[in-house]
A = this chain, B = another copy of it.
Amino acid sequence: MSFTIGKNFRMSVFGESHGKCVGVTVEGVPAGTVINQEKIQEELNRRRPGQSHLTTARNEEDRLEMISGVFRGRANGGPITMLIRNRDTDSLHYGSTRGMPRPGHCDHTAWEKYGEYHDHRGGGFFSGRMTASFVMAGAIAKHILDDRGIHVLAHVICIGDIKVERYVSDSEIEENIHRNPVRCADPVLASEMEALIRKVKEDGDSVGGMIEGRIIGVPPGVGEPLFNSVESVISHYMYSIPAVKGVDFGTGMGCACLKGSENNDPFIIDGNRVVTESNNAGGVLGGITNGMPVVFRVAIKPTPSIALPQKTVNLDTMKECDMEITGRHDPCIAIRAVPVVENLAACGILDLVMTGSR
């Protein structure tokens, strides 16, 4: 059992959804790194529930508490421990379905693994709320990456059947995703997505989505062949976000349908740098960055908590039965996952970068 990841920039997560707090200890931040608590709070705010009518009604302040590792505003070289307290823990709705696993949820597998000892309230340590720890760690990672000219972007490219099919530029992403609650870089599609989410919510249903991540400015030579390939490491991080069911790079799953002459990226000269004309490789060749943006996509399943009646079983009687889930839930978790993907990808790429480009 380990809630720890990373070799040189390491994060160790703790807490539960309805326990006292959700927190993270970050190791490997060089002594002297400026730790800007306001920036971390800003990232937390982006992930925080209750941001718009499209998210859960749970209202948490998510106020950052920093309890170690910072001295006079800078990293002191030791572990940095941060946490947010849980306050609005409305556990009422959770008692009733105990013993009746909710379809698509971890209730059943948690029971199989931890038995009655699992803190099931609000999903315990399976909760999406755990990702606040990724955001706190990521905010520090992004700061360190910034100093090296590396930037991470994330934006929604698909909600249900509404897809961004044209290329959106980095600046479109940076400018537009803060302007709409679905964090989509295309304003028109953003409105359609918003309408769709409102619709599924009214229907008592939920909907999945897809996020594209871009890591810009990574020098060539980061990552390794085989087990520490950029794809291996970044996908490992991404699949640590609850509800992620697919991760691919560049042409990704679609490369299966392509010919070599279509998928290969021709090398060209840009100033005095070797670059590729296209970026079908998603910035990674042989597991190693080639200097082009690292581009990946993350598929996020529809929220399993839906109001519609569903089939399940009663674990006490071992009979099949119907259930209806009450409580407050995000009709589309993908839109809240955008800052999570962005910050967690920052943690992953920083760990790779700190391991070295040569």
Q: Once the chains bind, are A310 and B207 in contact (CB under 8 Å)?
A: no
Task: State the Cβ distance, A92 to closest chain B Cβ, in Å.
Answer: 17
Q: Once the chains bind, are B288 and A109 in contact (CB under 8 Å)?
A: yes
Task: State the Cβ distance, A19 to closest chain B Cβ, in Å.
Answer: 6
Q: B-facing mask of A277-307, CB < 8 A → 1, else 0?
A: 1000110111111110000010111111110
Which chain B residue has the least Cβ–Cβ distance from A119?
B71
Q: Once the chains bind, are B12 and A12 in contact (CB under 8 Å)?
A: yes
> Which of these, B27, B207, B268, contacts A311 with CB under 8 Å?
B268
Task: State the Cβ distance, A168 to closest chain B Cβ, in Å.
Answer: 17
A61 at the interface (CB under 8 A from B): no
Q: Once the chains bind, are B81 and A301 in contact (CB under 8 Å)?
A: no
Q: Once the chains bind, are B12 and A2 in contact (CB under 8 Å)?
A: no
Considering the complex, which residues of chain A in the window 1-43 have a beta carbon less than 8 Å from any beta carbon of chain B? Answer: 1-5, 7, 10, 12-16, 19-21, 23, 25, 27-28, 30-32
Contacts of A115 in B (CB 8 A): 31-32, 358
Q: Once the chains bind, are B259 and A245 in contact (CB under 8 Å)?
A: no
> Which of these, B21, B125, B246, B313, contacts A274 with CB under 8 Å?
B313
Task: State the Cβ distance, A234 to closest chain B Cβ, in Å.
Answer: 8
When chains A and B are docked, how far (Å) is the Cα of A70 from the Cα of B285? 23
Which chain B residue has the least Cβ–Cβ distance from A248?
B246
Q: Of the listed stretches A46-54, A144-152, A180-188, A221-229, name the one at the interface; the rest are far from the partner chain.
A: A221-229
Task: State the Cβ distance, A119 to closest chain B Cβ, in Å.
Answer: 4
> Which of these, B3, B125, B225, contacts A125 with CB under 8 Å?
B225
Task: State the Cβ distance, A9 to closest chain B Cβ, in Å.
Answer: 10
Contacts of A308 in B (CB 8 A): 260-261
Q: Once the chains bind, are B109 and A220 in contact (CB under 8 Å)?
A: yes
A266 at the interface (CB under 8 A from B): yes
Q: Once the chains bind, are B15 and A113 in contact (CB under 8 Å)?
A: no
Q: Once the chains bind, are A312 and B267 in contact (CB under 8 Å)?
A: yes
Q: Once the chains bind, are B209 and A104 in contact (CB under 8 Å)?
A: no
Contacts of A220 in B (CB 8 A): 108-109, 112-113
* Best-surrounded residue of A7, A256, A291 (most CB of chain B within 10 A): A256
A242 at the interface (CB under 8 A from B): yes
Q: Once the chains bind, are A263 and B104 in contact (CB under 8 Å)?
A: yes
A205 at the interface (CB under 8 A from B): yes
Q: A1-B27, A109-B290, A226-B130 are in contact. Are A268 and B313 (CB under 8 A)?
A: yes
Contacts of A160 in B (CB 8 A): 256-259
Contacts of A268 in B (CB 8 A): 311, 313, 320
A179 at the interface (CB under 8 A from B): no
Q: Once the chains bind, are A267 and B14 in contact (CB under 8 Å)?
A: no
Q: Once the chains bind, are A246 and B249 in contact (CB under 8 Å)?
A: yes
A103 at the interface (CB under 8 A from B): yes
Q: Once the chains bind, are A119 and B76 in contact (CB under 8 Å)?
A: yes
Contacts of A318 in B (CB 8 A): 269, 272, 274
Which chain B residue has the least Cβ–Cβ distance from A80?
B14
Contacts of A315 in B (CB 8 A): 274
Question: Across chains A and B, which 10 residue pairs bring their CB atoms closest together, nearest first?
Answer: A106-B286, A246-B248, A206-B260, A266-B311, A104-B264, A109-B288, A246-B253, A103-B264, A71-B119, A260-B302
Given contacts A209-B256, A248-B299, A256-B300, 4 further A-B contacts (CB under 8 A): A12-B25, A21-B67, A226-B240, A247-B247
Give 8 pairs: A residue, B residue, CB < 8 Å, sorted on A: A1-B224, A2-B10, A14-B78, A16-B68, A104-B260, A239-B287, A246-B247, A264-B304
